[in-house]
Amino acid sequence: MAEEGSKWVVMVTGRSPTNIAVIKYWGKRDEGLILPINDSISLTLDPLHLSATTTVAVSPSFSRDRMWLNGKEIPLSGERYQKCLREIRKRANEVSDEKQGIKIKKEDWERLHVHISSYNNFPTAAGLASSAAGFACLVYTLAKLMNVKEDLGQISSIARQGSGSACRSLYGGFVKWAMGNNADGSDSLAIQLADETHWTDLVVIIAVVSSKQKETSSTSGMRETVQTSALIKHRAETVVPVRVSKMEEAIQNRDFASFAKLACADSNQFHAVCLDTSPPIFYMNDTSHRIINLVEKWNHSEETPQVAYTFDAGPNAVLISPNRKTAALLLQRLLFHFPPNQDTDLSSFVVGDKSILQDAGVTSMKDIETLEPPTECKDKVPYQRFTGDVSYFICTRVGSGPKVLTDETLALLDPITGLPK
């Protein structure tokens, strides 16, 4: 190792995607190790639109571990952060930085401190799974910095201890979190079912729903469900195992009808067990219900599923279409029913892959105003438009897993001081 007191900083920047479960994780069998009561399956979302970027740096000049989240320093003392740091440090290996002429020996890692800076390219307040992307990125990037040799599955098992669903963000494409059997959690980890090139036609549209409601955190929510719901055990032990194997098959066969049926049913059942909790937990609101009704009505009128929906621990809808054509028809329907408030720009109302807007024939706010009611509504008065009930839409797709960013300008820490830029 380069001599103590010298000013060198070695750092790595990584980017990790978020993911959306289509077979839901809800309930732990071990709170400390974050071991779930059932398997779950997720889609990794394109990091271009929804991801965490994290820079981790090490230097002999750092006097303690520190972390900044979205530019603000936060304490690292929490058990979840400590576990991730400890587990990665344990597996650290020798690192050589040839450009700087630095060699960090395996045993040095125990006394060297790190600086961590992380930010999300989407609003954390939006209730999208920011902790999944964040912990996946932290663990992945630390593992790169410390030259950890364990495979991604083992790394995912460490990320799991930061935030359960984070383990699924270690892979791109379609991912299963196997609940595992071991009491130490060593086999509770992510397995890639198929990578992001397997089923490229899928289009994901997220409706970020306006809400002033304070939400129950998923940690306390799932604890209360496990303790009080009379249905959760039956769900976890009897219903989910069948759904997991059917969902694996649907993904393998790119069978959208089965995929949609399973995803919708499992989202609804997750919210059903939340409602069966004492006191009951409501994550969906009237706008969420209206989005479901819109999709169900459309799917019913077409006789085959056009769209799958799934909702996590909040009111936002994640809508999955089998192809761009259907996604454009979906976006028309969403914009018809949930137009923006008057002072909104189209460019901030539909974000992400905006090319879907062109497919939908919407290039200006005026185009939204003049949208025709969907055919499945035409006969049935009254249809209603709920202005402002959706804050904005994010158009995205299934994407790749974590990556190291080699472009040094993307680093979040200064390469000289090791402090946030």
- Applying CB under 8 A, the residues found at the interface with its own copies are 212, 230-231, 234-235, 238-239, 261, 264-265, 268-269, 271-273, 275-280, 282, 285-286, 289, 292-293, 296, 300, 384
Task: CB nearer to its own copies: give 224 or 414.
Answer: 224
Q: Which residue has the tokens 């669903």?
A: 165
Residues in Cβ contact with 216 at an 8 Å cutoff, skipping those fewer than 6 apart: 224, 281, 283, 313
Find the shortest distance in angstroms from Cβ 239 to its own copies. Answer: 5
Cβ atoms 277, 228 nearer than 8 A: yes
Closer to its own copies by Cβ: residue 373 or 420: 373
Please tell me the distance from the alpha carbon of residue 77 to that of residue 47, in angstroms, as a whole number: 28
CA distance 133 to 166: 6
Shortest Cβ 269–its own copies spacing (Å): 5
Q: Which is nearer to its own copies, 105 or 233 (CB)?
A: 233
Residue 41, token pair as written in the block: 């399956």
The residue among 6 and 245 lying less far from its own copies, judged by its C-beta, is: 245
Quote the least distance from Cβ 213 to its own copies, whole Å: 8
> What minimum distance in Å lies between the beta carbon of 270 and its own copies?
9
Euclidean distance between CA atoms 212 and 80, whole angstroms: 28
Instruction: Give 152 or 294: the residue with its C-beta nearer to its own copies.
Output: 294
Do 19 and 166 form a contact (C-beta atoms < 8 A)? no
Note whether 114 and 58 are within 8 A (CB): yes
CA distances from 77 to 13, 67, 84, 166, 256 (A): 22, 10, 11, 19, 44
Return the number of the residue (9 or 273) whose C-beta is nearest its own copies. 273
User: Kind and range of the H or E element at 245?
Assistant: helix 240-252
Judge if the upstream peptide bond of residue 279 is cis by omega within 30 degrees of 0.
Answer: yes
Least Å distance between CB 295 and its own copies?
9
Give 60's Cβ-side CA count (13 Å radius): 13
Q: How far apart are CA 414 and CA 317, in angstroms?
A: 38
Residue with Cβ nearer its own copies (77 or 384): 384
Nearest distance from residue 265's CB to its own copies, in Å? Answer: 6
The helix/strand/coil state of 74 is strand
- Min dist. Cβ of residue 210 to its own copies (A): 12
The order of strands in the sheet holding 390-396 is 308-310, 317-321, 203-209, 390-396, 350-352
Burial 107-126 (b: 16+ CB within 10 A, else e): ebbeebebbbbbbbebeeeb
CA 391 – CA 334 distance, rounded (Å): 12
Based on CB atoms, which residue is closest to its own copies, 300 or 378? Answer: 300
Q: Where are the alpha helices (DSSP H) in 147-208?
A: 152-160
Shortest distance, position 296 Cβ to its own copies, whole Å? 4
Shortest Å distance, C-beta 309 to its own copies: 10
Nearest distance from C-beta of residue 276 to its own copies, angstroms: 4
| Comparison of 134 and 305: residue with beta carbon closer to its own copies | 305
188, 160 in Cβ contact below 8 A?
Answer: yes
CB of 152 to its own copies, least distance (A): 33
At 314, list the tokens: 């909040």
Query: Which two structure tokens, joined as six digits, stand for 335?
Result: 């914009």
